[in-house]
Structure 1
Amino acid sequence: MAFTSPTARFALALLLMLPALAASARVCVDDDAGRRVCLEQPAERIVALSPGATELLFNAGAGERLVGAVSFSDFPPAAKALPRVGSYKRLDMEAVLALKPDLVVAWISGNPETQVQRLEELGLTIYRSEPLRFADVADTLERFSVLAGTERTGRAAADHFRDGIAGLRDRYADADSVPVFYEVWEEPLMTVNGEHLISEAIRVCGGVNVFANLPTLAPRIGKEAVIAKDPEAIVAGGMGEDNPEWLEPWKRFPALTAVQRDNLFFVPPSTLQRPTPQMLEGTRLLCRHLETARARR
């Protein structure tokens, strides 16, 4: 049969294009475990298994596609209204499955891997997330936006974050170094090593993490170890956004340089302890604190 009319030729051309159009709707990215994650079309129902992933997805423009999150997913405020699927340490598998997500964002070092694997075995698409550098935060924003079909928003958020961090690096590139102890938790006493994202924030500001050489990402330490290191500044996140009570016990050690110079500084934990764009503001505050420490020499 000959297709001679314009209408017939258009219909034939459309038929030939359909496979290519279907293929173009497929979206793929590499996750932080080095695995290829592909969806037949941008995700419409996303479950986030860490507060950080929830925040990153909102930043990437995918907030309206989120249908579930774990406890303590509290930023932005809209995240508080999402149905809960347990905590990041113990997932409610039935709650996850009931939401029928087409994408689940897991936290490599935080979620129970056996539960994540089970979700995968049950047919869910899993993106494993673990931003370890500022560059990873920006890259994650772009990847999430690809998976959600919100590339313009994701790229803009990533560029803003990259530019902000680059500006801080330039500003403090020649600043005098400040030995820093960062307290990530009080009981048990915990800090971060040089591989942690918080340690990168310290370096950006011209600080030196006194426990950078420890082998564990978030090691437990004793107060004696802090006293032996004698940091010039002690920075703590505390248990709330405006609760610097963890700094008070250090005042019982007046021989510490940080105590003698009143270099006991608080940074709201949500701005420095989650791998999200809020780290830009947290790093700015940290840099101002270290500038104060330099001025008190």
Structure 2
Amino acid sequence: MTWINTISVNEPLASILAVLVALLLERFIPISSGVNPLSMYRFICQRMANKVLKTNYSKQQALISGSLGLIVLVTPTVLISFLIYEFASYQWLLDVFVLWILLQFTTQTKIFSATIKAAASNKTLLAKSLLQSVMLRDTQLLSEIGIFKACIEGLFLRYAYQYVTVIFCYFLGGPILALSYRLCYEANHAWSPKLKGFSNFGKLASYVCSLFQFIPSALLSISFMLTTSPFLALKALVSSQYWTLYLRSVQLLLLFSVAQVMQVKTAGPVMYSQQKVRRQRLEGTKAKHGNFEAKEPSAKTYNTLMNLIFRHIIICTSVMLVLVSLSFSVLANTPELGPSKSRTAHEQRIITLSPHLTELVYSLNKGQAIVGVSDYSDYPKAALSLPRVASYQGANLAQIARLKPSHVLVWRGGNKDADIQKLIAMGFNVYQSSIKHPSDLVSEISNIGKFLDATERANQLANQLSAKITQIKQAYSQRSLTTLYYLNQYPLMGLGNDPWLNSLLQLCGLHNIYEDSLSAYPQLQVSDILRKQPALLIAADGSNQAQINTFWGKHASVFEGKYISANPDALHRFTIRALNEMERVCEEAYK
């Protein structure tokens, strides 16, 4: 899957390719409405409305119920999707899959086309039945021209709402924003304020959808007119009617675009739940100010619109393909992302993806070569001003690529395995750190020194560190204390089987009473601690001595052990500072 890792370096390129692949999948492998997750979601929306919305509700109660219903339905789905993305190894493939589901339009165009064919064959009842399955408006009283008009309007509006707006949201905020919009859109379709009884219940969903659709609808309207009839487009754009419609309703704006391009009549009164909803009748500016009258829609008009929409998709796709080609061209002419074998020490660009690695690189006098670090890299203070390229969520591969590092240092066990493999696949020179015991730190410093061409300094530090470890062991070889080491007071979290901290404690004969715990950091009970009666308590939670005395002083009558503090920022990191702090803790323990 190396090619996916390469794509993911360039986020705009990855997004464009994801949309193109999803469009092809949706066009040639459309998802049947029977198995489409969005159909199930719409069904859940309908069932919720049936259960929650009461006929005796006031306007305010209905509005509150609909608003809470939208939040209850959308929020969990979005949160679960977000978590899935956080742990996904190949997010680009997940983008394609999500877009394939969200961009469902082909199935409905087939229904519209079947409706047009039935109406043109004088199978009016069949046409009305087919149309009712995809439209909210009442279709039973429609004339043949009304059926043609409804199909034309429905086709273009679905193209705007289910294609263009979804893609716009994806480019703007990624798949999570696109999913959020689509869920709101489906809820709005089920609870449309145009339907009887839903005027207040569906108000929030309708409002949210309008916000999502506001900008992409204008972009579609302008681009659709420009790609079909530039002269009429310019004429419409300078008219006050166009911008008045835009501010009133994006739906009317879109229907005006169809009227302008096709020179047909659109909009006008519509029946919803046997109630007439009045809409402004629309026709193109050429017909309005010319010497001829706009045509009524027909089957031919529908087929022409289908071709124009397809042409619009082709033109937009071509533009995206040009952008992709330009991106590949730029990448092809960019120096290798990975390190060059001929780089000298002065040309090194180092990225560290763990705070302890940042600190070790500074210890090797290579801090001036660091160009990116992970969150919480706060020592020495100079590291605070460096760009952050990784967090608990993972490494930002695109940002790392832009920094063009010659050396990347990762923490095997702290960084995600998927991120490490991607960095290797992308051609970076990667060093994988793995430290569990103080003796490992000695060899690690030597290895990092070789990796960064700082062998002399690394050997010097490694020898000093090895001597310090030996010194501490010899000084306390005949000493021993049972010890409780805890990291947090509320709740009380102690040291369990973590190998690094236990090895440090054992340097001077401090034996953790919970070393055999199944967890690295178990939650403890004070009663159990008092029963075990450790000789020493070490508080590594940032508390000062006065706070420690206050917390444990209330048990002084049944506990005679000594309690001291330790600096967790120093001890918990695999650095030279940990040995210095451990030496101080040992002195305090036996004082």
Q: Are 2:542 and 2:568, in contact at CA under 8 Å, matched by a contact in 1?
A: yes
Q: Structure 1, unaligned stretches of length 5 or more?
A: 1-37, 293-297
- What is the letter of the counterpart of residue 358 of structure 2? T
SS at match of 1:215: coil
Q: Are 1:49 and 1:88, in contact at CA under 8 Å, matched by a contact in 2?
A: no
What displacement does 1:88 show?
Answer: 4.4
1:60 aligns with 2:360: no
SS at match of 1:212: coil
What displacement does 1:211 show?
Answer: 0.9
Residue 274 of structure 1: aligned partner: 573
Residue 209 of structure 1: aligned partner: 512
Pair 1:116–1:252, CA change in 2 (3 A): farther
What displacement does 1:46 show?
Answer: 1.5
Of the structure 1 ranges 224-233 and 209-218, higher mean CA displacement relative to structure 2 is found in 224-233
Q: Structure 2, unaligned stretches of length 5 or more?
A: 1-338
Residue 94 of structure 1: aligned partner: 398
Residue 32 of structure 1: aligned partner: none
- Distance in 1 of aligned mates of 2:569 and 2:495: 16
1:233 aligns with 2:532: no
In angstroms, what is the RMSD of aligned CA positions? 2.6
Q: Are 1:237 and 1:266, in contact at CA under 8 Å, matched by a contact in 2?
A: yes
Of the structure 1 ranges 282-291 and 193-202, higher mean CA displacement relative to structure 2 is found in 193-202
Residue 112 of structure 1: aligned partner: 416
What displacement does 1:163 show?
Answer: 0.6
Pair 1:219–1:244, CA change in 2 (3 A): farther
Q: Are 1:186 and 1:246, in contact at CA under 8 Å, matched by a contact in 2?
A: no
Larger radius of gyration: 2
Pair 1:291–1:215, CA change in 2 (3 A): same
TM-score (norm 2): 0.39
TM-score (norm 1): 0.75
Which residue, out of 502, 518, 526, partners 1:199?
502
SS at match of 2:590: helix
SS at match of 2:537: strand
Q: Are 2:497 and 2:515, in contact at CA under 8 Å, matched by a contact in 1?
A: yes
Q: Deviations over 1:58-94 (max 9, x none)?
A: 1123222211111211112222222111324533332
- What is the letter of the counterpart of residue 569 of structure 2? S
SS at match of 2:576: coil
SS at match of 2:450: helix
1:250 aligns with 2:552: yes
Structure with the higher strand share, 1 or 2:
1
What displacement does 1:198 show?
Answer: 1.4
Q: Deviations over 1:202-246 (max 9, x none)?
A: 111121111111233334444444333221111122248x68856
SS at match of 2:483: strand
Alignment of 1:165-204 (within 5 A): 165-175=469-479, 177-204=480-507
- Distance in 1 of aligned mates of 2:446 and 2:464: 12
Residue 130 of structure 1: aligned partner: 434
Residue 375 of structure 2: aligned partner: 71
SS at match of 2:388: coil
Of the structure 1 ranges 45-54 and 189-198, higher mean CA displacement relative to structure 2 is found in 189-198
- Distance in 2 of aligned mates of 1:229 and 1:98: 55
What displacement does 1:104 show?
Answer: 1.7
Pair 1:125–1:187, CA change in 2 (3 A): farther
What displacement does 1:137 show?
Answer: 0.8
Q: Are 1:181 and 1:234, in contact at CA under 8 Å, matched by a contact in 2?
A: yes
- Distance in 1 of aligned mates of 2:403 and 2:527: 48
- What is the letter of the counterpart of residue 85 of structure 1? V
- Distance in 1 of aligned mates of 2:482 and 2:583: 17
- Distance in 1 of aligned mates of 2:588 and 2:416: 36
Q: Are 1:50 and 1:88, in contact at CA under 8 Å, matched by a contact in 2?
A: no
Bigger relative contact order, structure 1 or 2, given CA contacts below 8 A and separation 6+? 1
What displacement does 1:158 show?
Answer: 0.9
- Distance in 2 of aligned mates of 1:243 and 1:123: 50
Aligned residues: 250
SS at match of 1:143: helix
Which residue, out of 461, 464, 468, partners 1:164?
468
Structure with the higher helix share, 1 or 2:
2
Q: Are 1:59 and 1:141, in contact at CA under 8 Å, matched by a contact in 2?
A: no
Residue 289 of structure 1: aligned partner: 588
